[in-house]
Each structure stands twice: as C-alpha cells, then as structure tokens.
A and B are shown apart, each in its own frame.
Chain A
Amino acid sequence: MNWTAVASIYRFEMARFFRTLMQSFLSPVLSTSLYFVVFGAAIGSRIDQVEGIDYGAFIVPGLIMLSVMTQAISNASFGIYFPKFIGTIYELLSAPVNFLEIVLGYVGAAATKALFIGVVILATASLFVDLTIAHPWAMVLFLLLTCLSFALLGFIIGIWAGNFEQLQLVPLMIVTPLVFLGGSFYSISMLPPIWQKITMFNPVVYLISGFRWAFFDTADVPVGLSLLAIGGFTTLCLAVIWWIFKTGWRIRS
C-alpha cells in the first residue's frame, strides 16, 4: 500500500473542505434548527410520542442520517467528478497508485466531512431536545459505516456522471426520496400494512432503523439485519469501484 499517496489525496481533499468551513458548518446547523421548528413544533404538538419516545427526539436519528447520506454522496461524487471535469485526473491515472488507494483518499475525505456534519447536527439537536443514547458505540459504528458506504456510492456517481446535472440527479431523484420514505420522520409501524411490506425493499429503512436502535433501543427491523444490509451495501459499492478501475470505465479511454 502506498500510504503516502492515500494521505496526500486525503489532505488535498480536506483542504477544499476547510476552505469552506463556515458554510460546511452553518448550513447543517441552520437546516437542523429549521427541522426542529417545523417538525418538532408543528407536527410534534400533534404526535407527542412515537413508540414511547418524545417525537422531537425520535426524529433526531433520521435527521442525522438524512444529512449524512446526502452529504457523503455529494462530497464524494463532487470530489472525483471535479478532477475529471477540470482534467487534473491525468495525474491520478499516471501515478503509481491502485484503486484502493485512490478510493481510500477520496472516500475517506468525503466520509470525514459527512461525519463532521453528522456530529454538528447531533450537537445542534441536543440543544432542542433531551437525548440519551442507549448504545453509544453502536451509534458511532452505524454513523461511520453510513458515511463510508454512501461516500462509496457517491464516488461511483461522480465517475459515472458526464455533467453537473447528472451529478445532482441521483441524489435528488433517488437518494432523497428513499431517505424520506425510509422512516426518517416516522416509525414503519405507523404505516398501513401494505406499505410496511413495500417499504422493506428500501435499503435505507435498515440503516435508519439500526441507527435509531442505537439511540432508543427500539427498532423497526432486527439490528443484525441492519448491520448485514449496510455491510452488503458497502461490499457491493467496493466491487463496483474495483470493476471501474479494472476496466477503466469512464475514466481511461
């Protein structure tokens, strides 16, 4: 392994993040606060509790997941699309690095940014609601795995994308709906039975459920299944990226 290369890519990518640190910090704080005002106050005044948990607290894991997933995807996809777009990718392609090193650098940086935002949201949320975390280590593990796997997905999107519209398309058309319908703001058990079944095909359900279990010790699906889902998803993304670099798809002519 060429660890120096991994560290160089990581550092170079993080520099972009630090250049816009205020934006990176302010926007999640602002949007989280808005969610609490809208969902917590308006809806919360009617829904009071879900599965014995105060509604304001109940939506925190979903809220974090929503931001972490979209941020991981957009950071990672932009991170690799940008060099492709401005042409600096030539250096990556001609450097003595393998696909794993490139991925670790780019995806690692994107995941770090997403993690940072997740933590900011958690901190902001704790200003609005009382939060006790039942399984802190599991919470950290789920958070890390989500950052990582969605950054991997973002990396694939960034390589696939041929223009900026396509770069926005997948997150907007696929990921956001899946996350919203994945139980971010409600419990699956609140749905009519038929929707409960359909919703089980949404992979995001497993992640949010597992993450929520880490907070409140209640889950829509067994925790083991959640872990399995996220592990499988990560492996799948890695396999796709391995194939991309092996064939040079969309990066080497």
Chain B
Amino acid sequence: MPAILAIRDLRKSYANGFEALKGVTLDIEEGEILALLGPNGAGKTTLISTICGIIIPSSGTVTVGGHDTIEDYRAARSLIGLVPQEINLEPFETVWNTVRFSRGLFGKSRNDALLEDILRKLSLWEKRKSRIMELSGGMKRRVLIAKALSHEPRILFLDEPTAGVDVELRKDMWTIVAELKASGVTIILTTHYIEEAEAIADRIGVIADGALLLVEEKENLMTRMGQKQLEVQLTTPISVVPEQLAHYDLQLVNGGDALVYTYDTRGERTGITGLLNDVAQAGLALADVQTRQSSLEDIFVDLVSGDAP
C-alpha cells in the first residue's frame, strides 16, 4: 500500500538561519496512528506546519495522498485537518460559527448534523452559542479539534492535543482518536505524555534537534529497546548475595526479601534459566517470580540523552 503521507529529505531553515529540520524522511501508512515524541524545540511543530502549508520548506518534498503539498496544494490540503499547538481562535465569535467557518473554508457544503455530532462528542454542544472568550482553556482546545474535524480530514495532525487538558478529557480524546482510526483516518500526534503515545499509537517516532532518531512499531520498539527485570522473591530473607550468584550482578531489595535481575530482551540468551537453577543450587527457596518491562518513557529518556546503543 502506498504511503498516504510521504516526506522526503525535508529541510527547513528559518529566516534567522536556524536549521529546525535537518532532512526528515518519513512514510506514513493510511489508517495508522503515529506519535511524534521529542523534547521542546525538537522540530515537531515545524515538521507539522511544513506539511500543512504554514511554513515554506527550504528543500525536500511532501506528498499527501499522492499530491505534492506545493504543486498540488489544493488536493493535498483538502485531505488534512490540523489541530495546532497554540490556542488560536477568534475570541468574539461563537463556537458554532467558528466551527462552521472551518468547514466552509475547506470547501465543504453545509452539514449541520455532522457539526452537531462532532460538538456532542467533544462535549461542546451545550456551549455552541457561547463566545470563544467565555470558554475555559480545555474547552478552547476542544473547539480547535472540532474545527479540524469539521471538514472530514483523511489525515489529522494533533499538535499536543492534550496539553492542559484534564485526565478525563484526555481519556475522551483517546476514545475519539480510536474512533477516527476505526473510520480510516490517519493520525499524527505530538505529545509530551509518553503514556499517551504508549496508549494509542501504532508507531512511535522520536525527533530531536530537527532529525528523526527513529521511527518504529511501538511493540517492536518496546521489546527491542526494552529492558526487563526479573524479581525473585525469597521465602526467607538473606543479607548477602551468595557466592555462586555473584556473576549475575543481582540487586538485593526489600531488606533481603527479593533479588532483582536486569536483562535485555534483545539478548540471545537472557540467562533466566541459568539464574533460576543457580538460585535453587544456592539453597534459596523461591516464593514468587515476577517480570517488569521498562516503559516507553525510560526508552525515550535513554534515546534523547544519547545513552541508547
């Protein structure tokens, strides 16, 4: 299947000479959810803005649904919905008119039923007659989302959609994203909440200093880079690690109640069988065994700080 979004060696230098994108190449399949992670100033917003036509790229190409975003911008842009990071809304206009304007601007004929449906899903229906300035910050962010959805995009960019949004609403957002995915919409979102990427993304991209460090299936990434910990709980606490187990680099935790063994899931041999044998050999009795996988957050921190292999 051809990629619905194809980015080729995209570069952007701002007027002040700062190079915010240093040759980004990326393919996104139709219907997938890609989460872009990266520290502040990594270039996430710049990348999204360049795809959407707000920023002119210095070089490189972007095609959306096969349409070049510059040569054939009309066709390309009509597929895209954008929820910007900043809350940019006309303060004096009502919610309803603001959302209706977006639909019209994208050349779509009036469809009040659809707008009602979107506003209800985002819990904005009661507020449709309110002026934007009368809304709370989280509500304004939802208006931005409603605007982007109003013209039925095939690709949706969510630039930190859950920043400043309460936990409940964040969960609602995830539900909406899941529904959109089910209807075939491709979603690219940026976030600083790693659990969010972990919860909803199919693939994870990590960007830092204007370059994509990696893009990978979430599951793969977590197994490939993840470290697992095996915790061996003992029936009787011990004060020192027995001699026979010294070469395993074990940690004694919980006041001698348990041994923790850290291993890499990528390794050919995890060494677990050997360890468990040797533990028995050393005359220790096992009460229980647990494994723990490191979260995406740990992986991410390692990557960006350059510790990752």
Residues of A in contact with B (beta carbons under 8 Å apart): 2, 4-5, 7-9, 11-12, 15-16, 19, 82-83, 86-88, 90-98, 248, 252-253
Contacts and interface: CB of A to CB of B under 8 A. Distances in A.
B107 interface: yes
A4 B109 contact: yes
A253 B77 contact: no
Contact of A8 (B55, B73, B82, B104): B104
Contact of A94 (B52, B107, B108, B109): B52
A250 to B, nearest CB: 11
B92 A96 contact: no
B176 interface: no
B89 interface: yes
Given A94-B53, A96-B77, A253-B15, 14 more contacts: A4-B108, A5-B105, A15-B93, A83-B90, A86-B88, A88-B90, A90-B82, A92-B105, A93-B53, A94-B54, A96-B107, A97-B107, A98-B74, A252-B55
Contacts of A87: 84, 86, 88
A91 B102 contact: yes
A123 B124 CA distance: 44
Given A87-B88, A88-B88, A91-B105, A253 B55 contact: yes
Interface size class of chain B, counting residues whose CB lies under 8 Å from the partner chain: 35 or more
B78 interface: yes
Contacts of B248: none
Given A5-B105, A5-B106, A9-B105, A93 B54 contact: yes
B261 interface: no
A46 B148 CA distance: 64
Contacts of B104: 4-5, 7-8, 11
Interface of B: 14-15, 49, 52-56, 73-78, 80, 82, 84, 86, 88-93, 97, 100-109, 147
Nearest to A94: B52
8 contacts: A8-B100, A9-B101, A15-B97, A87-B84, A91-B147, A94-B53, A96-B106, A252-B54
Interface centre among A4, A94, A97 (most CB of B within 10 A): A94
Contacts of B89: 86, 88
Nearest to B104: A8
Nearest to B151: A95
Contacts of B77: 94-96
Contacts of A12: 90, 93, 97, 101
B105 A90 contact: no
A5 B107 contact: yes
Interface centre among A8, A92, A252 (most CB of B within 10 A): A8
A253 B101 contact: no
Contacts of A91: 82, 88, 102, 105, 147
Contacts of B14: 253
Instruction: Pick the 8 closest A-B CB pairs, nearest first.
Output: A8-B104, A87-B88, A94-B52, A96-B77, A96-B78, A96-B74, A2-B107, A93-B54
A96 B82 contact: no
A90 B80 CA distance: 13
Interface centre among A2, A12, A83, A252 (most CB of B within 10 A): A12
B15 A90 contact: no
A19 B91 CA distance: 13
A244 to B, nearest CB: 13
Interface centre among B49, B74, B90, B92 (most CB of A within 10 A): B90
A160 B68 CA distance: 29
Contacts of A9: 101, 105
B107 A4 contact: yes
Contacts of A7: 104
Contacts of B101: 8-9, 11-12
Nearest to B101: A12
Nearest to B79: A96
Contacts of A2: 74, 107
Given A19-B92, A96-B73, A253-B55, A90 B84 contact: yes
Contacts of A86: 88-91
A96 B88 contact: no
Nearest to B12: A253
A11 B80 CA distance: 23
